[in-house]
Amino acid sequence: MIKADHIFHFTSAFDLEAGGKLPGFQLKYTTVGQLNKTRSNVVWICHALTGNSDVTTWWNDFFAAGSPYDPRDWFIICANTLGGCYGSTGPLSVNAATGKNYFHDFPTLTNRDVVRAFDLLRQQLKIERIHTVIGGSLGGQQALEWAIAQPSVFDHAVLVACNALHSPWGIAFNEAQRMAIAADATWKESDARAGIDGMKAARAMAMISYRTYEGFGITQAEKTNEKIEDFRAASYQRYQGQKLANRFNAFTYWTLTKMMDSHNVGRGRESVERALGQVKARTLVVAVDSDLLFPPSEQAYLARHIPDATLETITSPYGHDGFLVEFESLKKSVRAFLQHQPNEIEF
């Protein structure tokens, strides 16, 4: 498997939807596989909230040998989102205009800003068409926004556990997490570790929205009736907070959750339905039946309003995280979609 990391530099001023601007930016992106002679085998992945550009570290099974997008046949690209902390310009980056780290001064980003940055990278790579754009959660929002903004670029779109606009329910979860960060006494500091304990609590909150009652019962149930404290579920929450703190920062978490909140494909486009109707890509929408954060009704809405879209529902006890866990079910759905066959497999 041929894999390489790259940096794309954009050196002109980059105006943002919310009114701010960046004096320039960079995107770190990872490629897996090789571009064919006709440049027709491009698969572009948009990662989830705290993901990075290396899909082999978090979605490897979906792109393993024998998968619908086997890297022996496909050229897979994933760029760390603008605003991220894995090599792309974000709050911890140095502002070229001031020579100082952005920290709290990093401007507001939207998914439209992100996909415009992605599209500049696409143009730099001289890729005229993308066979498939795939994204889950925040990445699914970005994939959808891109398919609307540049409908002639994409032949196929696979939109997993995402929505047309972020719900009041989802925004409330994100605001509660940002309140936890803001309650951290260090949050006002201009330091890379500012708000880190608050972010640990935020991540613990998020895990409840990512999983389900049944999922926690499967993985965190006690093996004895005698415990009074030190429960497995409590340790798991602390572990998840620390695990994220070891690789992420509160500034990026704040920026990307705000980005997710602002997602609304209908903004400036007359209506959400009209915007979805602009998608030209042959589209597969994938729902997870137990998803609390992006419930299946949101994917059904997408499939109803995107022309000729196909809707598949994956059964999983793991809620929203099912799209990162149920690799085999997802592969079966995508394979059936690409083969133009109805998926009759029971998951």
Cα→Cα distances 287→46, 293, 321, 326, Å: 17, 11, 11, 12
Residue the block writes with tokens 């491009």:
42
67, 209, 320, 321: the active-site residue: 320
113, 291, 305, 316: the active-site residue: 291
With b for 16 or more beta-carbon neighbours within 10 A and e for fewer, the 280-308 pattern comes to bbbbbbbbbebbbbbbbebbebbbebbee
67, 137, 290, 333: the active-site residue: 137
Three-state DSSP string of 45-94: EECCCCCCCCHHHCCHHHHCCCCCCCCCCCEEEEECCCCCCCCCCCCCCE
DSSP of 239-281: HHHHHHHTT--HHHHHHHHHHHHT-BTTTTSS-HHHHHTT--S
SS3 141: helix
Known catalytic residue at 291: yes
Known catalytic residue at 137: yes
Known catalytic residue at 262: no
Q: Which residues are catalytically annotated?
A: 137, 291, 320
